[in-house]
Amino acid sequence: MKRALFPGSFDPITLGHTDIVERSLTLFDEVVVALGDNSQKHYMFDLEKRIGFIESIYRDRPQVKVTAYTGLTIDYCQKIGADFILRGLRNPADFEFEKAIAHTNRKLSGIETVFFLTAAKTAYISSSIVREIISHGGDYTALVPPQVRID
């Protein structure tokens, strides 16, 4: 089975993220959307809320799993038997940042990183932009799946 880990904070998950998950399912038997713990980040949504958003999106897609982890991504990949890390690239800056991480991960573990270019229609979307819109009471709904709603 080809299993890929799609790590991130998903605070919140956006249409850009879901586009990458959907397109990656043509290559992988299973995609694990894994919410990592970054001690340097301050989250808008708590872990349970973020997991709930993602689980509700993929409720009818058994090949998409949702989980949380701490520690190194490569260690978690080895723990769950994922041979691939899935990452999305929006722009050249993303590529340069992700390239260094991918080389390091492959050197340390042999785990390959597969990059997906974001679709043109979602390339401008980022979770940080969505959080900024939400924090100012703006309409964020065109940037996220319908399951992501503020109560």
Q: Measure the CA–CA gap between 110 and 84, rounded to whole angstroms.
A: 9
Q: Which of 141, 109, 116 is nearest to 8 (CA)?
A: 116
Catalytic residues: 17, 41, 90, 127
- What's the burial of 93, exposed, middle or buried (CB within 10 Å: 0-12/13-18/19+)? exposed
Q: Which of 102, 104, 98 is nearest to 117 (CA)?
A: 98
Amino acid at 27: L
